[in-house]
């Protein structure tokens, strides 16, 4: 049961992340579809999982994982470093907003 709950949580997070990535990319005129956003979110999850496994947590791991994700974002969307960075910042801002709003939708438990 715990594995099923973890899988459902991962899939929900993947979908929400994909929506955020898709919207941010569209704001900057990217033509790729939702499938690219899903792949980008999945690659990001893998990158950060591997980074935290091999390096641990902290600013060094976040920096290395972030750079690796920028490379992946740039490769998947065929964009340069600066545009990848700007889109990543917008994704980060959207993710913060969603993380503040989403848990409160159900109301107090």
- The answer to whether residue 109 sits within a structural domain is no
- The answer to whether residue 80 sits within a structural domain is yes
Q: How many domains does the chain have?
A: 1
- Whether the full predicted model's pTM is greater than 0.95, yes or no, is no
Surface-to-core class of residue 12, CB atoms within 10 Å of its CB (0-12 exposed, 13-18 middle, 19+ buried) = exposed
- The answer to whether residue 41 sits within a structural domain is yes
pLDDT tens for the chain, 109 residues: list them.
788 888 888 888 899 999 999 999 999 998 999 999 999 999 999 998 899 889 888 889 889 999 999 999 999 999 998 999 999 999 999 988 988 887 766 555 5
- The answer to whether residue 58 sits within a structural domain is yes
Q: Which domain holds residue 70?
A: 2-104
Interatomic CA distance for residues 5 and 31, integer angstroms: 34
- The answer to whether residue 19 sits within a structural domain is yes
Residue 65 and residue 48 in contact, taking contact as beta carbons nearer than 8 Å: yes
């Amino acid at each position: 049961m715990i594995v099923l709950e973890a899988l459902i949580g991962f899939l929900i997070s993947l979908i929400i992340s994909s929506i955020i990535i898709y919207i941010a990319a569209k704001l900057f005129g990217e033509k790729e579809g939702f499938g690219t956003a899903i792949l980008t979110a999945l690659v990001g999850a893998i990158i950060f999982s591997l980074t935290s496994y091999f390096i641990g947590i902290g600013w060094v791991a976040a920096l290395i994982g972030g750079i690796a994700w920028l490379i992946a974002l740039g490769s998947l969307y065929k964009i340069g470093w600066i545009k990848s960075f700007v889109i990543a910042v917008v994704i980060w801002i959207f993710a913060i907003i969603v993380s503040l709003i989403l848990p409160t939708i159900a109301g107090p438990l």
